Structure 1
């Protein structure tokens, strides 16, 4: 869809120079000059008599360089033709939406007649949605550390916190529940945003918690609300808003323990998934990054990871059928639960107080065997 617009820069016969749809190329535009208006409006005819000469009489300049007068820029390249007193200029390359194009018609009598024209981008379609919010469970610990917001397409960035709200059971907004960092925590393609609940109101002994108390309270219910007005990367608002309702349970202060995980192995020759089931939900993003499978030669096994059962299960499906032999699950000790407790240390413990942390390994392993 092509939308045409204009702004007046100088007095000229109305609609003497205009933008029009290019009948030969869908979605593109051409410049038209109504030559029948030249004599009827008292303007002298231009000197040009052949189409090849029109470039001296009619030229277009794109306002593409900030701080540089458009008159100093070279004209847009293209081709001319005249049919039934209508001069048409077709740019060599399609015009860009949102850029001013200054079209100049050199009249021997009236001097330069300038029309400033532009293409307006059509309204972007409202197609982007919130795919999911993690954690996906509807019961979350009082010391919950973060949310992951997953979108179906890249989002606009820079004003995320104005579109995200935490409401109490009375539908009242909770003041400043999130740690609003200057550089928003997006993944590289702009489809996942990490929102941190203010850690200063989670960790015991810190001033924000002492003054304002925790953001979440055990036994209470809350709603995370995402506004439909939040624009995606194309400027279109979300197709619809999103809400996540959840209740709050007791604080979680226990470290995840791989020794307590339930490992289910597949059969050799199959591509059935290997699964790990956890006693409690773990961090959705870290489950996809800090768990992997290695064979007996310590080579990574290629495959797909799926996080299921409200982040209580990790499933790995290999690209090639399993072969009989020894394997191991490698667990990065930075893997966390929903409260930021990692395999290496509890969230509440200050690293300065634990000098022995330097001896914590970067990973631990779970051995398993696939039989014939």
Structure 2
């Protein structure tokens, strides 16, 4: 009887050990909800050291039961075997998101919902800014961005409520890519269909060019765009601009205009380019790490006096002597010209396939 008891205890111990091992090391996603609309997503354990944190953890918005194809922008960091992701912008009320944690050939998925919508909110929503902010815009522009003062419904058909008029006040037809993307619940991306900009793509050949050099145009944001809170209303807005010659040059980082912050301060880091840059690629394409580590510095990017100047505002003081400024291959101007590859090219180089396009090291003052 004693022998059987010993065997049973050993058997139970082994089962407990196996269960504990599997439980402790199974992939998991947790959400820190101290702030419902600015949660911190945590995924662990992440052992694939050959991949970037942004390749292993992605968060997608769900709308009308469908998951967006574009992941949220935000900042990533990694501590030991845990990946952290914080959204770049606050998430709106009454929204649902799927967090994906990719490992090997499997995916862990977690649903996250923000706090319910307060339907009593009734506000007039203004257009805060339209990017590019310049009123002289190159003929081969690819993207505009509309920033609203209040949260909007991230409607994929929002492009239908934005009109482009020529100087004769005639609507320019079939301008937008037929699917709106949102950087956040306040910033709408409007992408001109590449077939009407890039050579070699056939799309409504009979319509001709979207823009003509020297001509003036009007971009109209109508009150039909849908706010997040149904009782609110968008105030119509019109941006007038003139078309100039197309641009085909790759933008350059002006290292001599890099404004270095002081150590132990929260001063802004200034990054300057030789030409206006695309908002989305700046927000999602530039990161800062502590030198010679994968530790990401969390903060946010804001625009300067024009679209050639951008500032990084850290969440915490600059405590280290040396940092690394990283530009990925998607950083580009509004016409799609990247740091290492112009938009109009048929050449494929190994350099283009690398995720990182440029790296700059700097020391705090």
- Of residues 290, 293, 304, the one that matches 2:288 is 293
The 1:359/1:146 distance shift into structure 2, 3 A limit, reads closer
Instruction: Name the CA distance, whole Å, in 2 between partners of 1:361 and 1:128.
Output: 38
1:150 has 2:147 as partner? yes
Farther-moved stretch of structure 1 (198-207 vs 278-287): 198-207
Deviations 1:98-139 (A, max 9, x none): xxxxxxxxxxxxxxxxxxxxxxx9997352232222112111
Instruction: Name the CA distance, whole Å, in 2 between partners of 1:347 and 1:261.
Output: 26
For 1:57-206, list aligned pairs within 5 A: 125-151=122-148, 152-155=150-153, 157-181=155-179, 184-187=180-183, 190-206=185-201
Deviations 1:228-258 (A, max 9, x none): 2333233346342011111111101011223
User: What displacement does 1:359 show?
Assistant: 5.0
- What is residue 348 of structure 1 aligned with on the other side? 344
SS at match of 1:225: strand
Instruction: Name the CA distance, whole Å, in 2 between partners of 1:170 and 1:123.
Output: 42
Deviations 1:322-349 (A, max 9, x none): 3362222111121110101112311111
Q: Could you tell me which runs of 5 or more consecutive residues in structure 1 were left unpaired when the two chains were aligned.
A: 1-120
- Of residues 335, 339, 364, the one that matches 2:358 is 364
1:316 has 2:312 as partner? yes
RMSD of the alignment, in Å? 2.6
SS at match of 2:188: strand
- What is residue 76 of structure 1 aligned with on the other side? none
SS at match of 1:344: coil
The 1:296/1:362 distance shift into structure 2, 3 A limit, reads closer
- Of residues 217, 224, 230, the one that matches 1:229 is 224
SS at match of 1:286: helix
Who wins on radius of gyration, i.e. which is larger?
1
The 1:249/1:157 distance shift into structure 2, 3 A limit, reads same
- What is residue 38 of structure 1 aligned with on the other side? none
User: What displacement does 1:140 show?
Assistant: 1.0
CA contact (8 A) 1:133 1:149 kept: yes
The 1:208/1:335 distance shift into structure 2, 3 A limit, reads same
Instruction: Name the CA distance, whole Å, in 1 between partners of 2:177 and 2:159.
Output: 9
The 1:318/1:206 distance shift into structure 2, 3 A limit, reads closer
Instruction: Name the CA distance, whole Å, in 1 between partners of 2:338 and 2:189.
Output: 18
User: What displacement does 1:310 show?
Assistant: 2.6
The 1:323/1:237 distance shift into structure 2, 3 A limit, reads closer
The 1:191/1:270 distance shift into structure 2, 3 A limit, reads closer
Instruction: Name the CA distance, whole Å, in 1 between partners of 2:277 and 2:239.
Output: 18
Instruction: Name the CA distance, whole Å, in 2 between partners of 1:200 and 1:249.
Output: 20
Instruction: Name the CA distance, whole Å, in 1 between partners of 2:233 and 2:306.
Output: 25
- What is residue 43 of structure 2 aligned with on the other side? none
The 1:256/1:231 distance shift into structure 2, 3 A limit, reads same
Farther-moved stretch of structure 1 (127-136 vs 155-164): 155-164
- What is residue 322 of structure 2 aligned with on the other side? 326
SS at match of 1:294: strand
User: What displacement does 1:215 show?
Assistant: 0.6
The 1:145/1:260 distance shift into structure 2, 3 A limit, reads farther
SS at match of 1:289: helix
